[in-house]
Amino acid sequence: MYIVTAGNMGSGKTTLTKMLCKHYGWTPRYEQVAANPYIEDYYNDMPRWVLGMEVFFLKERFRDLLAINAASDSETIIQDRSIFEGVYVFAKNNYALGNMQTRDFETYMELFESMMMVARQPDLMIYLRASVPHLVANIQKRGREYEQGLAIEYLRGLNENYDDFIFHQYKGQCLVIDVDNLDYEHRTEDFKSIINRIDARLFGFF
């Protein structure tokens, strides 16, 4: 199976991905944030570095898709953010904010559409939905220096794009989890409630 943990920055998707891997024995494919050579430059000057930053993530997620396609049928892989989110949420947000020029966005989308010829849709997308204050609190807590100056409008735009993508564009099976009042990392009952919902979707367990 192919599972995706989706969600805005600060939503807790990487933490949940690690916990699900431990619980189910799934194989993780993590987003290569630290490895992106454009990331810090991007947060200092978004219009200058946005294309390189977005293309790097697109390239890495496409590599993940190829690895997922090559995996054995008995292996379940869970991906920390999908190629679809990178395009329909993050790149779209940069374009809407004017960070990405039209010709760059069109070239980027043509590259993505070519990749879709071999793309595989997830068997389940787990969307961690969070309010902007919740995201800000988590971003401050994890302490990545280059993220600390993010504008509220930037995060709000990502959230709006996520909701539009999940509720109006994405056609696959999706489990939406509102995380504002959950602490699944530290409260067993919260993590168990998520596991129960995943089991119900994947295996028909109630």
- Determine the average pLDDT of the residues in 24-40: 90
Residue 148, pLDDT above cutoff 90: no
> pLDDT grade, residue 34 (50/70/90)?
confident
Q: Residues 156-161: what's their mean pLDDT?
A: 96
In this prediction, residue 143 carries a pLDDT of 66
Q: Hey, is 91 helix, strand or coil?
A: helix
| Average of per-residue pLDDT values in the chain | 92
Provide the pLDDT for residue 55: 96
User: Other CB atoms closer than 10 Å to residue 188's CB: what's the count?
Assistant: 8
Q: Which position has the higher pLDDT, 42 or 145? A: 42
* Pair 174, 9: CB distance under 8 Å: no
Q: What is the mean pLDDT of residues 159-175?
A: 95
Q: Tell whether pTM > 0.85.
A: yes
Q: In whole angstroms, how far apart are CA 113 and each of 26, 58, 59, 83, 167?
A: 28, 11, 13, 11, 21
Statement: residue 70 has pLDDT above 80: yes
Residue 96 above 80 pLDDT?
A: yes
Of 201, 184, 165, 198, which is closest to residue 8 (Cα–Cα)?
Answer: 165
Q: Which residue has the higher pLDDT, 150 or 66?
A: 66
Query: Is residue 32 scored above 90 in pLDDT?
Result: no
What's the CA angle centered on 109, arms 105 and 114, to 5 degrees?
Answer: 155
Better-scored residue on pLDDT, 73 or 76: 76
